[in-house]
Chains A and B, each alone.
Chain A
Amino acid sequence: MLREIGVASIDDLFVDIPEKIRLKRPLKLPQAMSELEVKRHMKAMLAKNKPFTQMLSFLGGGAWSHYIPSHVRALTQRSEFVTSYTPYQPEVSQGMLQTLFEYQSMVAELVELDVVNASMYDWASALGEAALMCARITHRKRFLIPKLISPGRRATLQTYAVGPGLEVAEIGYDRKTGQLDLSQIRAQLKKDTAGVYVENPSYLGFLETQVEEIANAVHKAGALFVVGVNPISLGLLKAPGDYGADIVVGEGQPLGNPVSFGGPCLGIFACRSEMKLVRQMPGRLIGMTTTLDGGKRGYCMALATREQYIRREQATSNICTNNSLCAVAAAFYLASLGPQGLRKVAERCAANASYAMKKLNAIHGLETPIFDAPHFNEFSLNCDDTHMSIEKLNSKLLKRGIQGGIPLRGEFPELGETGLLCTTELHSRECIDHLAKTLKEIVGGKR
Chain B
Amino acid sequence: MPEGLYYTREHEWVKLEGNLARVGVTDYAQDKLGDVVYVELSEVGKQVKQLAESKAKEMELGAVESIKAVSTVHSPLSGAVKETNATLQERPELINTSPYNEGWICLIEPRALEAELKNLMDAKAYAEYLKGLE
Q: Is A311 an interface residue (CB 8 A)?
A: yes
Does B69 count as interface, using CB distance less than 8 angstroms?
yes
Closest to A280 in B: B40
Q: Which residues between 262 and 312 of chain A lie within 8 Å of chain B, taking CB atoms?
A: 275, 279, 305-306, 310-311
Partner of A305, one of B43, B70, B72, B89: B70
The answer to whether B70 touches A310 (Cβ under 8 A) is yes
Contacts of A310 in B (CB 8 A): 69-70
Question: In whole angstroms, what is the CA distance A18 to B72 when docked?
Answer: 48
Is B121 part of the binding interface, using a Cβ–Cβ cutoff of 8 Å? no
B63 within 8 A of A: yes
What residues of A have a CB within 8 angstroms of the CB of B43 in the complex?
139
Residues of B within 8 A of A54 (CB): none
CA distance A139 to B89 in the complex (A): 19
The answer to whether the Cβ of B126 comes within 8 Å of any Cβ in the partner chain is: no
Instruction: For the complex, give the distance between the alpha carbons of A129 and B69 in Å.
Output: 23
Across-interface contacts of B38 in A (CB, < 8 A): 275, 279
Do A305 and B40 have beta carbons less than 8 Å apart? Answer: no
From known contacts A275-B89, A279-B38, A279-B40, infer whether A314 and B63 are also in contact, taking CB-CB under 8 Å. Answer: yes
A interface residue count range (under 10 / 10 to 19 / 20 to 34 / 35 or more): under 10
Residue of A nearest to B67 (CB): A305
**Interface presence of B119 (CB below 8 A):** no
Q: What mask results when residues 67 to 79 of chain B are scored 1 for a CB within 8 Å of chain A, else 0?
A: 1111010000000
Separation of A369 and B80 alpha carbons in the complex (Å): 58
Minimum CB–CB distance for B100 against chain A, Å: 24
Rounded to whole angstroms, the CA-CA distance of A314 and B70 in the bound complex is 9
Residue of A at shortest CB range from B65? A305
Whole-angstrom CA separation of A305 from B37 in the bound complex: 10
Bound: A139/B65 CA distance, A: 21
State which residues 361-409 of A face B: CB under 8 Å. Answer: none
Contact A314–B72 (Cβ < 8 Å): yes
Indicate if B97 sits at the interface (CB-CB under 8 A): no
What residues on B are CB-neighbors of A311 within 8 Å? 70
Task: Determine the distance from Cα of A275 to Cα of B38 in the docked complex, in whole angstroms.
Answer: 10
Shortest Cβ distance from A141 into chain B, in angstroms? 15
A227 CB to nearest chain B CB (Å): 27
Interface centre among A279, A305, A310 (most CB of B within 10 A): A305
Q: Mark B47-79, 1 if CB is under 8 A from A, else 0.
A: 000000000000000010111111010000000
- How does the 8 Å CB contact mask read for B4-36 relative to A, with 1 for contact and 0 for none? 000000000000000000000000000000000
Q: How far is the CA of A195 from the CA of B33 in the complex (A)?
A: 35
Contacts of A305 in B (CB 8 A): 65-70
Residues of A within 8 A of B89 (CB): 275
Q: Which residues from A are CB-within-8-Å of B65?
A: 305-306
When chains A and B are docked, how far (Å) is the Cα of A310 from the Cα of B70?
8
**Set of chain B residues within 8 Å of A279, measured between Cβ atoms:** 38, 40
| Residue of A275, A279, A311 most packed against chain B (CB within 10 A) | A311
- Measured in the bound complex, the distance between the Cα atoms of B43 and A356 in whole Å is 55
Q: In the complex, what residues of A have CB within 8 A of residue B69's CB? A: 305, 310
Which 6 A-B pairs give the minimum distances between C-beta atoms?
Answer: A305-B70, A311-B70, A305-B65, A305-B69, A314-B72, A314-B70
17 pairs across A/B with beta carbons < 8 Å?
Answer: A139-B43, A275-B89, A279-B38, A279-B40, A305-B66, A305-B67, A305-B68, A305-B69, A305-B70, A306-B65, A306-B70, A310-B69, A310-B70, A311-B70, A314-B63, A314-B70, A314-B72
Q: Known contacts A279-B38, A305-B66, A310-B69; can you find 9 more A-B pairs with CB under 8 A?
A: A275-B38, A275-B89, A305-B68, A305-B69, A306-B65, A306-B70, A310-B70, A314-B63, A314-B72
